[in-house]
Amino acid sequence: MDYGFVRVAAATPNIKVADCFYNAKNIIEDIKKAEKNKTSIICFPELCITGYTCSDLFLQDSLIEDSKSALKEILEKTKSLNITCIVGMPIEYLGKLYNCGVCFYKGKILGIVPKTHIPNYNEFYEKRHFNTLSSTKDFFIDKDICENAIPFGNIIFQIENIKNFTFALEICEDLWSVIPPSSNYTLAGANIIFNLSASNEIAGKSIYRKELVKNQSARCICGYVYASAGEGESTTDLVFSGHNLIYENGRLLNESKTFENSIIYSDIDLDYINSEKRRNTTFKSIINNNFENVKYKIDPISFDLDRYIDTMPFVPKDEEKRAIRCKEIIDIQAYGLKKRIEHIGIKNVVVGISGGLDSTHALIVINRTFELLGYDKKGIITVTMPCFGTTDRTYNNAIKLCKIIGTTLLEINIKEAVLKHFEDINHDPNIHNVTYENSQARERTQILMDISNKYNGIVIGTGDLSELALGFATYNGDHMSMYGVNGSIPKTLIRYLIEYFAKNSNNDLEDILMDILNTPVSPELLPPSENGNISQITEDIVGPYELHDFFLYNMIRYNYTPEKIYYLAKKAFKNNYDNATILKWLEKFYIRFFTQQFKRSCLPDGAKVGSVSLSPRGDFRMPSDASLSAFLERIKNLK
């Protein structure tokens, strides 16, 4: 299966100005290379058959005739190849010359698209030679290159036997115009835009060009393949660098080196593009009768995905960008809490501190909030509540952390209260089951709630996004608070947030935070081992958080099927987990996600910080009793 991916290419061939047959030979070679590399569509630069810089030679009959003969040669030499090709050439129609993109497959021309916006920066530019088509669609017949009428004008191409594979062409200046044709093409259903370009190079233009393609692909929610003219064009007045680009909804997939004629490839995710359009209700699809629809089928292409798959999609890989993101996230959390505190009109907040990741980060956010408010940090009521599973390491780290920040620290040992509760409900404390564990969590929450009443404050929740997705929280225990600051922070990101804060803190605080980062993740609800170490490791119970966060992101952000998530996970984690392990935890993820929705249906308020959130008020609405069977059936058929 291709799982919605298609391989595309942007090519800059070696050319000679006005030597159509030399150019055709090199175009054919590049097409063959791309076909061997399992490419579905390859796009070449503007007027690549003749060369873009022919100037008044475009008016010569010889060049026009040679370009048609060269196209026929390309069609003949590629008719056995399973690849769609897009080349640029001048086309004469009813006595007028047009700068066109010609799309063909297996020797058959599918459609011809003339350039919409003809530049006229000076008397030597294109308006001297080329025209704008007066009609948006027409049909073209030229016995020299085709026997049948060919669609000529605004065209959307559709490969019928590949889901969501629709594309359109625009040519160079079209993209630089106020309203590029690609805007309307994508509104009418095109998922990939191919741009045949001859963009000259001047200082700083490559940066602007990248931004232009990036932004257009993002606005149009599409793949964008940009193929530009390069070395071989005339340098009488301009230089061309062959700057090729492939973007997907604002994300750069591949880029060529400038001044180096080459082919670049990328695997575009059609499922992702379609999902984003479906999600974005302001992206208003249109039915445009001014476009010709060309449908055709291709032979199936199987290929090994050649694309970076991020194992931690919530975490920016670039260290500088990650630092900026971490500061931004902490500020979003802090300003959200600041507004809530000001609205209620209180000076105190209450938070349970365990010495673990989540409560530590919540305290970091509260600390930042109090700095913004200018409040005395003694108003941060931190409560540590040791019980059966508390270890010396987490206890001591919690105490030290609170003292360095300067909070009001309360220590309340809950062992006796929980034992009394066991007696009340007739539970044997030697039975370490879910009752044993959840009784501690609910006792802690009761204490926090009552302390917040005592100090006229609110309880700040510490549970994170990963725990919410898995339902790994005690209902009406750590599941509940009066404002949850970590509700959209996944476990794989929370470590980097704490690390960022640590690196920007004094040495004493940094040492404590780094030790907290190195402590195994645990709810500490079961007694420690004989040597006093944590005996209950969360990831031994629910599975690796890096896998679950990967599953969550791809399921919620991209709406992928279990099959596609498994396929991507195998690629991404091939050096970390075997297929059986990935499949085991994928099944566990879906089971927990579906069966634990009732906990997410009544979450406390909390600010959204990223593109994935499970808030029931706006980001993710799901029936608490939605059936899991169809999803499990898909997973059971995987290997």
* Kind plus residue range of the DSSP H or E element containing 156: strand 155-159
CA-CA distance, 12 to 77, in Å (whole number)? 19
Cα–Cα nearest to 224, from 204, 207, 249, 202 = 249
Q: For residues 466 and 286, is the Cβ–Cβ distance under 8 A?
A: no
Q: Which of 38, 68, 115, 277 is catalytic?
A: 115
Instruction: Work out the angle between the directed axes of helices 491-503 and 545-552 (0-180°, nearest 10).
Output: 110
Q: Which of 46, 201, 233, 248 is catalytic?
A: 46
* Kind plus residue range of the DSSP H or E element containing 546: helix 545-552
Q: Which residue has the tokens 């030229």?
A: 142
Length of the chain as a residue count: 639
Half-sphere exposure of 231 (CA within 13 A, CB side): 7
CA-CA distance, 132 to 99, in Å (whole number)? 9
Phi then psi for residue 421, to 5 deg, are: -65, -40
Q: Is the dihedral of CA 268, 272, 275, 277 positive or negative?
A: negative
Question: Is residue 115 annotated as part of the catalytic site, yes or no?
Answer: yes
Q: For residues 68 and 144, is the Cβ–Cβ distance under 8 A?
A: yes
Question: Is residue 100 annotated as part of the catalytic site, yes or no?
Answer: no
User: How many other β-carbons are positioned within 10 Å of the β-carbon of residue 486?
Assistant: 28
Pairing of strands 155-159, 150-153: unpaired
The terminus-to-terminus CA distance of the chain in angstroms comes to: 14
Phi then psi for residue 469, to 5 deg, are: -60, -40
Rg (CA), the chain: 31
Strand-pairing partners, residue 200, are: 240
Q: For residues 445 and 480, is the Cβ–Cβ distance under 8 A?
A: yes
CA-CA distance, 558 to 248, in Å (whole number)? 13
User: What DSSP assignment string belongs to 585-632?
Assistant: HHHHHHHHHHHTHHHHTTPPP----SS----TTTT----TT---HHHH
CA-CA distance, 273 to 633, in Å (whole number)? 26
CA-CA distance, 309 to 184, in Å (whole number)? 31
Give the CA angle between residues 505, 507, 511 to the nearest 5°. Answer: 100
Q: Give Cα 474 to chain centroid, integer Å.
A: 32
* Kind plus residue range of the DSSP H or E element containing 564: helix 562-572
Q: Which of 54, 85, 146, 172 is catalytic?
A: 172
Q: Give the residue numbers marked as catalytic.
A: 46, 115, 172
